[in-house]
Amino acid sequence: MITASYKKYILNFKQPSGTSRGILKTKETWFITLQEGTKQGIGECGVFRGLSIDDRPDYQAKLEWACQNIHLGLDVLLNELVAFPSIQFGLETAFKSFLSEDKFEIFPSEFTKSNDSISINGLIWMGSEAFMKQQIKEKIEAGFTCIKMKIGAIDFQAEINLLKSIRKEYTLKDIELRVDANGAFSYSEALEKLKVLSEFYLHSIEQPIKQGQIEHMSLLCEQTPLPIALDEELIGIFDVTQKDMLIQTIKPQYIILKPSLVGGFKGSNEWVDIAEKKDIGWWITSALESNVGLNAIAQYTYTKQNSMPQGLGTGSLFTNNFDSPLLVKNGTLHYDNSKKWTFNL
């Protein structure tokens, strides 16, 4: 008989990382382990405090319930845990891991055989202009051709100056630039700011205004000179009909999927199906999971065969992450089979 247990784990950032929601020093995560004899399956429930819809006081109680009722099977558990997308993601991964010959090979593919890689963007964290410039230089030297910059925390003019200096040195052919505002703009100023930003030939802007302003976001997507990608907007929308209605109403240029926040692989697949039917672009990103969650997301992402740079590869941010075969080189994520996992809780 399969038994299940869970454990909390705190990831420590190598250096405090700035977002428009403040400075992150630690990241809480939880692991579900399935066991039957010597056979084991592992999944990560990457709750994101302050952002996840399942950041609730009863989170641990739900994990406890899931482990006690593991005999119900994955489909029943997923239906019961609709309001807890990160637990859904952890359970999906744990079951796949359990059924796999190698518990860390969740979706066997050319990627896990080390024969292919995934194109990813280089993430620039918020901070002083000098700190952001330094990160950009390092990413370009490391072979990235797509850079994602978080904006909205420092002075807008300073951010514009930074973009100006990047574009002076690197043309559109050299570097694809994405920006993520994390909802930092007010609606009244958003369109003007988008016009200014569009002068720097940006690929897209994520979530220019806070989620939940459906009509305002719809108007922005209609009028924008710069492609808009919905990110936080997708959080907390569980029903397929509601998902379809949201996309139909806003008509964004892109959507961004974080499996830990949108209901794991099943939830992500629903969003992808809706987007593709409406000719809307999409890509997948991790959400500060450990290498266990990142590994599951990367393997899943590879199966979707989307050639755009994906938002993966954050595993190097933490001092106490787990050693894994995941390796970033020349702006791509690889699975290096010569490297072994060290997963100790």
Q: What is the pLDDT of residue 20?
A: 57
Question: Token match 């994906």: residue?
Answer: 310
Print pLDDT tens along the chain (345 aa). Answer: 999 999 999 999 998 876 656 788 999 999 999 999 999 999 999 999 988 999 999 999 999 999 999 999 999 999 999 999 999 999 999 999 999 999 999 999 999 999 999 999 999 887 787 888 899 889 999 999 999 998 887 789 988 998 998 899 888 888 999 999 989 999 999 999 999 999 999 999 999 999 999 999 999 999 999 999 999 999 999 999 999 999 999 999 999 999 999 999 999 999 999 999 999 999 999 999 999 999 999 999 999 999 999 999 777 889 999 999 999 999 999 999 999 999 988
Told to judge if 103 belongs to the known catalytic residues of this protein, a careful annotator would answer no
Tokens at 46, concatenated: 């990457």
Active-site entry in 258, 266, 329, 340: 258
Integer CA distances (angstroms), 28 to 86, 96, 124, 235, in order: 12, 23, 22, 19
- Does the CA dihedral 140-141-142-145 come out positive or negative? positive
Domain ranges of the chain: 3-99, 118-335
pTM of the shown model? 0.95
Q: Is 3-99 a CATH 3.30.70.20 domain?
A: no
Tokens at 126, concatenated: 């918020």
- Hey, what CATH class is 118-335 in? alpha beta
Q: What is the pLDDT of residue 128?
A: 80
Told to judge if 258 belongs to the known catalytic residues of this protein, a careful annotator would answer yes
Residues 233/238/239/240 CA torsion (nearest 10 deg): 70
Q: What is the pLDDT of residue 18?
A: 65
Active-site entry in 27, 103, 150, 243: 150
Distance CA 277, CA 256 (A): 16
Give, for 180, the enclosing helix (H) or strand (E). Answer: strand 176-180
